[in-house]
Amino acid sequence: MAYETSDNSKTWAVVAAIVVVVFAAIGWLIFRPSGEGGAQGPGGATLTRMPGDANSIIKNRQMSPEDVLAALTTYMPSGKHDDYMMFASGGHGGQVLVIGVPSMRLLKVIGVFTPEPWQGWGFSEETRAVINGKAGDGTDLLWGDTHHPALSETNGEYDGQFLFINDKASARVAVIDLRDFETKQIVKNPLAINDHGGAFVTPDTEWVIEGGQYAHPIGGKYASLADYKKSYRGLVTCWKFDRKKGSIDPSKSFAIELPPYWQDLSDAGKLVSDGWIFLNSFNTEMATGGGEKKGGVWFEAGTTQRDMDYLHVINLKKAIATAAAGKTTTINGFRMIPLQTAASESILYFAPEPKSPHGVDVTPGGEYMVVSGKLDPHVTIFSFQKMMDAIKNKSFSGKDPYGVPIFDFKKVVEKQVELGLGPLHTQFDDKGYAYTSLFLDSAVARWSLGGPYEKLHSDKPWTLVKKIPVQYNVGHLAAAEGDTAKPAGHFLVALNKWSVDRFANVGPLLPQNLQLVDISNPGDKMQVLYDMPIGIGEPHYSQIIKADKIKAWDVYPEIGWSPVTQSKSPKATTVGQERIVRNGNTVEVFMTAIRSHLNPEHVEVKKGDKVIWHVTNVERARDATHGFALFNHNLSLEPGETETISFTATKEGVYPYYCTEFCSALHLEMTGYLLVKP
Amino acid sequence: MAYETSDNSKTWAVVAAIVVVVFAAIGWLIFRPSGEGGAQGPGGATLTRMPGDANSIIKNRQMSPEDVLAALTTYMPSGKHDDYMMFASGGHGGQVLVIGVPSMRLLKVIGVFTPEPWQGWGFSEETRAVINGKAGDGTDLLWGDTHHPALSETNGEYDGQFLFINDKASARVAVIDLRDFETKQIVKNPLAINDHGGAFVTPDTEWVIEGGQYAHPIGGKYASLADYKKSYRGLVTCWKFDRKKGSIDPSKSFAIELPPYWQDLSDAGKLVSDGWIFLNSFNTEMATGGGEKKGGVWFEAGTTQRDMDYLHVINLKKAIATAAAGKTTTINGFRMIPLQTAASESILYFAPEPKSPHGVDVTPGGEYMVVSGKLDPHVTIFSFQKMMDAIKNKSFSGKDPYGVPIFDFKKVVEKQVELGLGPLHTQFDDKGYAYTSLFLDSAVARWSLGGPYEKLHSDKPWTLVKKIPVQYNVGHLAAAEGDTAKPAGHFLVALNKWSVDRFANVGPLLPQNLQLVDISNPGDKMQVLYDMPIGIGEPHYSQIIKADKIKAWDVYPEIGWSPVTQSKSPKATTVGQERIVRNGNTVEVFMTAIRSHLNPEHVEVKKGDKVIWHVTNVERARDATHGFALFNHNLSLEPGETETISFTATKEGVYPYYCTEFCSALHLEMTGYLLVKP
């Protein structure tokens, strides 16, 4: 690992810092408020006194000048709001993390694929129906492996309305509404067992793209690995998003069958490349593993034989037209453009890309596709125009075994820039720089773009400008609006996979380390500002949006709101309408919650009764959330919200129910008794 | 709400800050490293350049001098570790949150009552068996309402070995081992439906105390609310902890039957009061609610009629002896000292306490019990010695309806200190101060202790010294080691229930706001340093321990470790011993995981087979965690760990399994195929 400063220079930095604060202390001594019980400002009001001076804090804490600047840059005074909001996947935690930038404070975890009782996610009838997943063995699926969040876009820029995220483990895509930061829909891919290269949106969010991962027989059939080349396939799925309804329409969506390479990260074209999508792939060797067998080769060796894999270049507009023309086959009720059709209809092309690539990232203007081959020290920059020229001129170097035309690498590549070991993912700023994560180097590389970006910086184009170490094993990067048509610059977050020695020891399972990097200055000036431990999931990718683009609700629009439908619930109960309705062996409770009582406080049923219980929070004050706990249920009822639980009263007894949110001074008194009579 | 500074004084503060940094900038100009591409320190190494100067940052960000000091105090440079670790309950999230202090960074969420797939908690056979809860309606209980964490103690001081936490919703107590920060045991109270006043430990952690909450018929029977006084009861449970085994022994534990008041917070005596425990109660009115009925009274009104409730003063040593003598009744296989026996054997006494109390907190030396009546503006300080004198002299004011002797309030009270509206909980420091949260005032009050603590400070004893506003509605407080025999002082955290306007808007469900307060200076000097949003649970109580007391493992002690038993698993697999064993329709897989392959990579079974699958992570490097995803399972395998999943192969097909932790550059290649043949 490379460090920037030697021990001597660190000592020098500390000395410099101490001198700096001596001057600061002089300034303080001259201008500080004076007096015994608190000093007088010009207005005569009492100033709160200092807990000590900056000098002694910096000295005692042995802070370097860089530490001081980082502290001042990232600290968020009480009541001031972060400039940016980062949406990070939670990996195999199955959720989405919302993080304030630059303070790097976790503002919220959004329940997506995994039930989470604090927010009541999956603990009401309504939200459980959204999760409602089944695993391949028929059991309830109560987790997901979230990888790539995608904010909705308008004209290639984040618009702050929706967030999409995939589940790699079970090939699902979720839709989150950013008016209330809740998941509204989860679609299961009817053809795929797993995914990876999603979710990515087209520049106006008409389509949500879900790329595949490990090849398998399409639609869930069995086939022997001996028949891999014939029976296994890759896949990319284009989900049609209805912005007005806020949901994906599977009936208007379709997939494209791909060769059994392992498709990886993907990105949508924008501006000049609008209408195209790009997917990496690896294991174009079509290795089938089995290292445990005599003569067998582990996947890690078998998938890394070739020097080149294939960037999949897909004409989305043509694919949409082809699907609309009915040139699809239907499997499990879902439309798919067959591989032969994709090749023959000029939907699919391959560009050779070195070696076992991971990320593909489109430049802000859409001109270039930047690919990182994780076993190659370069980033490879493809020219969209050159690829279009090759298609126009029918200039190909050949076809793959499935008949897909392959570009001549030299004719479509713009540049290659050597960065270091293990390049993975690239983001962009507003100054004509790109940033690439280097997993094996544990570093972030800033390099200069050429072409139309050359005028934005004073560095030589297509050149490594600076590498800074991060701790450790960086996966994705996220720059502020750094994958949009208009990157913000300013901040970048390195999503490091290992933290090793960075944090106090919390046992053998360590947090990840998300490091905030200042990228606001050009040239070789970059600084790691902050280490944020993540001990609740493993963020793969994240996106950072300007916070003022998010227009979230303070409270739900009206009393009796169902967040799942984003409309008034038919089971909404208003004050005075609370009731218990018996119909045979079914008892239906219509309850309200308000500080500080639940109405009703007594519910009597008979053993064996089926009980359906609706609770409406009738509060209108912001933050006046109530909870409702009974048996295996916990509801979180935000102001105006209606949710439902149901159960069978299988056992006689007395069961207190209560509000689980500390809502008022008499919160503990906000309770009632369910009596199950013999 | 009271604010400390007027707008004018804020302006003055900003001016002062700017002047301070001008001097700092001068210092920087003199001593800054010079040169074009990075300056030379004395050692000749390149210093990283500044991203800008402190002056412009403070100016641009409009930071006050207090903000600057707070930033410098809380910022944790990369690689430096927090001085303290805070263990906070996660409320109805069901988990425990581990937070670094003073940086207020969330280091880890510990899975306790709620399954959590990132850490594999509840997603392996072994850990699911620990959760294994059943709700009152017979369904699986997959959440909890964690309230009060209790670190294990030796001589009344935290020893960093174990953590206990209760589940209010279902009356359970969990044991967490701080060698690996994982839950080892969950005990369900066989007599109680819910709890609140726990967990609290005795000074050497021989007993873990679980106080009740809402009265109900003991042991889960039905009884009409009309029979409340006769058939409903309160409860306190004393769980025997076996430190060597690291688990609670229910067979050596017992409960004490209490009147049907609603027992609330509790605390154990220490030093001079060692051997006694103290429980608050409210609803000594024995109100039964039903405000929805004609003439009915809501609980919020019915439970707040009396001016006094009862502090339960319990002779634990005598209770232990009484239980050992067999003077118990057994319900659901669990021993209970009947209420009449508790009264007649001089185990239980009542001290009148004002009004609808919430917290009871014992001073560091054990001399005083501090009670906060949430509808009374005072804290009430009881003298343990005076209570002992009253018992000795048989000086009581009478008995309650259940025959329990009641102290004369005036004869056992030491002092009352008026603090403000809605006092809840009290913590202590090393300077002779107590800190009480004021829910309705949204403030933290510092007040001076008397008696043996008077010599530690220069304030008038038993007096309010300072109140500082917090944002908003503070519940518990936690000071560094602030409920032990040796408080550390330094920091205090206000666990505020509402955040309202403190953070960027993330929708109608808002985070809580944990505010760090500097209490290191005496007298009226206190400062809010940091606002930490909590958007993953609602912390009720927390404890803050010196971080160097935690001696957690870097990796598991040996390959094949089962964290649940803290011993080697009989299903451990070493390299070379991987195998697939068929026995009739049962297939058992013994797999290893190492960077970057799973062994075996192929597993073939037949439709209908029962599959039991053990995975051992054979890594020994710190942070080399692997995941394992298949169907509804996700394991987190820390270095050395063995875990098991099982399923029935109900559906033919091809199912990729893979490592879910980004463990190496070839992590995506760490996969395999499960083939379920027709």
Work out the minimum CA distance from A400 to partner chain B, whole angstroms. 22
Average pLDDT over residues A408-418: 98
Averaged pLDDT in 10-residue chunks for chain B of 678 residues = 39 44 41 32 29 76 93 96 98 98 98 98 98 94 98 98 98 98 98 96 98 96 98 98 98 98 96 98 98 97 97 98 98 98 98 94 98 94 98 98 98 98 97 98 98 98 98 98 97 98 98 98 96 98 98 98 98 98 98 98 98 98 98 98 98 98 96 98
Measured between CA atoms, the residue of chain A closest to residue B668 is A300
Q: Output the pLDDT for position B56.
A: 85
A537 CB within 8 Å of a chain B CB? yes
Q: Is A394 helix (H, G, I), strand (E, B) or coil?
A: coil
Q: What is the pLDDT of residues A129-149, one digit of tens each?
A: 999 999 999 999 999 999 999
User: Which residues, including other chains, have CB under 8 Å from residue B674's CB and lie 6 or more apart?
Assistant: B603, B604, B605, B630, B649, B654, B655, B656, B657
A481 shares a domain with A360: yes
Chain-chain contact of A675 with B213 (C-beta, under 8 angstroms): no
Of A549, A581, A614, the position where a domain reaches its end is A549
A480 shares a domain with A382: yes
User: Which residues, including other chains, have CB under 8 Å from residue A227's CB and lie 6 or more apart?
Assistant: none
Work out the minimum CA distance from B180 to partner chain A, whole angstroms. 4
Asked if residue A122 belongs to a domain, the reply is no
Q: Output the pLDDT for position B405.
A: 98
Measured between CA atoms, the residue of chain A closest to residue B499 is A623
Chain-chain contact of B116 with A115 (C-beta, under 8 angstroms): no
Chain-chain contact of B24 with A24 (C-beta, under 8 angstroms): yes
Distance, in Å, from the CA atom of B306 to the CA atom of B356, rounded to the nearest integer, reads: 8
Q: Output the pLDDT for position B240.
A: 98
Chain-chain contact of B48 with A182 (C-beta, under 8 angstroms): no
A11 CB within 8 Å of a chain B CB? yes
B145 CB within 8 Å of a chain A CB? yes
Q: pTM higher than 0.90, yes or no?
A: yes
In this structure, of A55-64, A274-283, B134-143, B194-203, the range with the lowest mean pLDDT score is A55-64
Asked if residue A446 belongs to a domain, the reply is yes
User: Which residues, including other chains, have CB under 8 Å from residue A88's CB and lie 6 or more apart?
Assistant: A96, A97, A98, A99, A149, A478, A495, A514, A534, A539, A541, A542
B407 shares a domain with B334: yes
Residue A490 has pLDDT above 50, yes or no: yes
Give the CA distances from residue B645 to residues A6, B3, B155, B418, in Å, rounded to whole numbers and listed in that order.
49, 56, 42, 58
Distance, in Å, from the CA atom of B257 to the CA atom of B267, rounded to the nearest integer, reads: 18
Adjacent-strand bridge partners of B177: B162, B182
- Full strand arrangement of the beta sheet holding A348-353: A262-268, A276-282, A309-315, A348-353, A405-407, A396-399
Nearest CB among A16, A665, A669 relative to B439 is that of A665
B672 CB within 8 Å of a chain A CB? yes
Q: Output the pLDDT for position B54.
A: 83
Provide the residue type at B78 as one letter: S
Q: Sort out which chain B residues have CB atoms less than 8 A from A216's CB and list them.
A: 653-656, 673
Q: What is the pLDDT of residues A625-654, one digit of tens each?
A: 999 999 999 999 999 999 999 999 999 999
Chain-chain contact of B75 with A63 (C-beta, under 8 angstroms): yes
Q: What is the pLDDT of residues B414-429, one digit of tens each?
A: 999 999 999 999 999 9
Residue A321 has pLDDT above 60, yes or no: yes
Q: Output the pLDDT for position B55.
A: 79
Residue A78 has pLDDT above 70, yes or no: yes
B558/A13: higher pLDDT: B558
Adjacent-strand bridge partners of B634: B629
Nearest CB among B499, B639, B655 relative to A623 is that of B499
B29 shares a domain with B165: no
The two three-digit tokens of residue B511, written as one number: 């985070």
B393 CB within 8 Å of a chain A CB? no
Asked if residue A139 belongs to a domain, the reply is no
B443 shares a domain with B306: yes
Radius of gyration of chain B (CA): 28
Sign of the dihedral defined by the CA atoms of residues A548, A549, A550, A552, in that order: positive
What DSSP letter does each residue of B594-608 carry, written as one string? Answer: ETTEEE-SEEEEETT
Chain-chain contact of A107 with B65 (C-beta, under 8 angstroms): no
Q: Sort out which chain B residues have CB atoms less than 8 A from A496's CB and list them.
A: none
**Which is it for strands B653-658 and B671-677: parallel, antiparallel or unpaired?**
antiparallel
| Interface list for A 36-95 with B (CB within 8 A) | 37-38, 41-54, 57-58, 61, 63-79, 81-82, 85, 90-94
Chain-chain contact of B5 with A47 (C-beta, under 8 angstroms): yes
Q: Say how many domains are in chain B.
A: 3
Q: What is the pLDDT of residues B11-40, one digit of tens each?
A: 444 444 444 444 444 434 333 333 333 333
Work out the minimum CA distance from B408 to partner chain A, whole angstroms. 27
B297 shares a domain with B200: yes
The two three-digit tokens of residue A428, written as one number: 């962009």
Helix (H) or strand (E) segment spanning residue A56: helix A54-60
Give the CA distances from residue B120 to residues A143, A274, B232, in Å, rounded to whole numbers and listed in that order.
10, 41, 40
In this structure, of A243-257, A502-516, B5-19, B282-296, the range with the lowest mean pLDDT score is B5-19
Place of tokens 């829910």: B439
User: Are A113 and A167 contacting, i.e. CB atoms less than 8 angstroms apart?
Assistant: yes
Instruction: Give me the CATH number covering residue B396.
Output: 2.130.10.10
A41/B451: higher pLDDT: B451
B521 CB within 8 Å of a chain A CB? yes
Measured between CA atoms, the residue of chain B closest to residue A91 is B118
Q: Sort out which chain A residues have CB atoms less than 8 A from B107's CB and list them.
A: 503-504, 506, 511, 533, 535
C-alpha of A182 from chain center = 14
Q: Output the pLDDT for position B53.
A: 77
| Interface list for B 284-323 with A (CB within 8 A) | 288-293, 296, 298-300, 303-304
Distance, in Å, from the CA atom of A59 to the CA atom of B102, rounded to the nearest integer, reads: 17
B535 CB within 8 Å of a chain A CB? yes
What DSSP letter does each residue of A626-638 carry, written as one string? Answer: EEEEETTEEEEE-
Instruction: Give me the CATH number covering residue B669.
Output: 2.60.40.420
- ω before B433 within 30° of 0 (cis)? no
Asked if residue A2 belongs to a domain, the reply is no
Of B549, B579, B611, the position where a domain reaches its end is B549
User: Are B435 and B492 contacting, i.e. CB atoms less than 8 angstroms apart?
Assistant: yes
% pLDDT > 90, chain B: 91
Q: Output the pLDDT for position B370.
A: 98
Q: Output the pLDDT for position A54.
A: 83
| Interface list for B 569-628 with A (CB within 8 A) | 578, 596-597, 599-602, 622-623, 625, 627
B277 shares a domain with B197: yes
Q: Output the pLDDT for position B8.
A: 44
Measured between CA atoms, the residue of chain B closest to residue A550 is B505
A35/A24: higher pLDDT: A24
Average pLDDT over residues A15-31: 42
- Residue A664's domain spans which residues? 561-677
Chain-chain contact of B31 with A13 (C-beta, under 8 angstroms): no
Asked if residue B133 belongs to a domain, the reply is no
B392 CB within 8 Å of a chain A CB? no
The torsion defined by the Cα of B300, A572, A662 and B236, in degrees rounded to 10, comes to 60
User: Are B635 and B628 contacting, i.e. CB atoms less than 8 angstroms apart?
Assistant: yes
User: Are A73 and B80 contacting, i.e. CB atoms less than 8 angstroms apart?
Assistant: no
Nearest CB among A500, A525, A670 relative to B622 is that of A500
B518 shares a domain with B621: no
| Interface list for A 360-389 with B (CB within 8 A) | 374-375
Work out the minimum CA distance from A496 to partner chain B, whole angstroms. 10
B651 shares a domain with B538: no
Asked if residue A667 belongs to a domain, the reply is yes
Give the CA distances from residue B386 to residues B181, B241, B275, B344, B368, in Å, rounded to whole numbers and listed in that order.
41, 31, 16, 21, 10
Distance, in Å, from the CA atom of A77 to the CA atom of A592, rounded to the nearest integer, reads: 37
Nearest CB among B169, B181, B502 relative to A506 is that of B181
Chain-chain contact of B49 with A524 (C-beta, under 8 angstroms): yes
B518 CB within 8 Å of a chain A CB? yes
State the average pLDDT for chain B: 93
Q: What is the pLDDT of residues A169-219, one digit of tens each?
A: 999 999 999 999 999 999 999 999 999 998 999 999 999 999 999 999 999
B533 shares a domain with B602: no
Asked if residue B137 belongs to a domain, the reply is no
Q: Output the pLDDT for position B609.
A: 98
A48/B508: higher pLDDT: B508
Q: Sort out which chain A residues have CB atoms less than 8 A from B331's CB and list them.
A: none
Measured between CA atoms, the residue of chain A closest to residue B216 is A654
Residue A463 has pLDDT above 80, yes or no: yes
Chain-chain contact of B640 with A217 (C-beta, under 8 angstroms): no
A570 shares a domain with A529: no
B277: left (phi over 0), alpha (psi -120 to 50) or beta: beta
Asked if residue B208 belongs to a domain, the reply is yes
Nearest CB among B9, B45, B652 relative to A9 is that of B45
pLDDT tier, A11 (very low <50, low <70, confident <90, very high otherwise): very low
B186 shares a domain with B69: no
| Interface list for B 425-484 with A (CB within 8 A) | 439-440, 471, 473, 475
Complex-level ipTM: 0.93
State the average pLDDT for chain A: 93
Chain-chain contact of A498 with B623 (C-beta, under 8 angstroms): yes
